[in-house]
Amino acid sequence: MAELQPIEAALEALLAEVSPLEAEQVALEDAPGRVLAEDVMATLDVPPFDNSAMDGYALNALDAGKRLPVSQRIAAGSPAAPLEAGTCARIFTGGEIPPGADCVVMQERVTLEGDTATLPADIPQGDNIRLMGRDVRKGEPLLAAGERLEAAALGHLAGQGVTQVSVRCRPRVALLSTGDEIIEPGTPLKPGQLYNSNRPMLKRLLENFGAEVVCVISVPDDANQTRALLEQAANEADVVVSTGGVSVGEEDHVKAALEALGQLDMWKLAIRPGKPLALGRLPRADGSQARFVGLPGNPVSGFVGAWLFLRPLMGVLLGCPTLVELPALSVTADFATSTGPRQHYMRVALEFTPKGITASAFADQNSAVLSSCIKADALAVIPPHHQVVQGDVINCLWLAG
């Protein structure tokens, strides 16, 4: 019997010789969720000029406490003239601070009589002014390569007037489902058949991890067709992901097909769920290789395997460090358990309290119980031959992004 391999060895084998994909230029409006391929430097100061943080009156702080005539009105988007000595300017939020003014007093603190404003005495220099370059300085780094472009980063780029951005090409993934018993929703079930729950689940996870699922293929329990469809998938994708067919049953043809066509790097892991997981490489017609990840057919094993293996693989292909490793948390266990020779990844819900984070485990941790994944916030990592009692501090991998 082959020795079970630890997850660390499996990840090392999976990510060996993997490098980021090429870059492409996309419009900013098409960039949400994409990963920057190169550093972006600021070409503008943000804000580009000193401006008012509120509606009020701009003045020189030396004139605080006086009655001053209002010499101009400055709306956002309008240029400001130099402030006449001994006057103040009516100004609105975002309005340019006029030369000669060095503070703004909010309008609620000003008494206005005609065109004359009575100002309070306690107005410090710089009050209520957003200085030029407070957020971003021209010539300084704006965003680093590997940044995933979510809402704030997209706004940062738009604030520089960026319309095109260089991002990593999305990893192309072929998603294969094996087994004559697996059918697609919409078809009446016959005795012994199951609906394909893995396909939509994994497709969504892969897309969340930044990939593009370019083809979905149903693979029958036939050795020759399995080889042919694996070969087809490898030529269409950067990564081939299959579910089922990697165990030792007579109808499990995927592992044998992988060995016949390419290279098996790792098989049988010391993890629960997900022991029969195959990692390898498939040749492509152009001489390159597609990575292969063969997940077990049980849906929970596929769910956990996707977070542990597909997410870091997508992270390396995208050059995105935050995808490569799941955030680790130390939490208090609100459950008791013990493990055998395999490391257990338990589905848990997290509760954030003033005293810390508590993890509650779902009662049924069987690898076929997909409902345990629906509200799971994290995977509690329980080492082999380990006992956990309620109140113990344990490590969790947060299922974030």
Determine the pLDDT at residue 180. Answer: 87
Identity at 22, one-letter amino acid code: E
Residues 6+ apart with CB under 8 A from 237: 172, 173, 174, 214, 215, 290
Determine the pLDDT at residue 1. Answer: 46
Q: Is the pTM of this model over 0.85?
A: yes
CA-closest candidate to residue 58, choices 135, 119, 148, 134: 119
Determine the pLDDT at residue 267. Answer: 84
User: Would you say residue 332 has pLDDT above 90?
Assistant: yes
| DSSP annotation string for 267-279 | E-BSEES--S-EE
273 preceded by a cis bond (ω within 30 of 0)? yes
Per-residue pLDDT tens over the stretch 117-132 = 999 999 999 999 999 9
Q: Which of 61-75, 135-149, 268-282 has the lowest mean pLDDT?
A: 268-282
Determine the pLDDT at residue 244. Answer: 85
Determine the pLDDT at residue 227. Answer: 95
Query: Which whole number is the average pLDDT over 250-262?
Result: 84
CA-closest candidate to residue 246, choices 281, 292, 278: 278
Q: For the chain, what percent of residues have pLDDT higher than 90?
A: 90
Per-residue pLDDT tens over the stretch 40-74 = 999 999 999 999 999 999 999 999 999 999 999 99
Per-residue pLDDT tens over the stretch 5-34 = 999 999 999 999 999 999 999 999 999 999
Determine the pLDDT at residue 253. Answer: 84
Per-residue pLDDT tens over the stretch 357-386 = 999 999 999 988 999 999 999 999 999 999
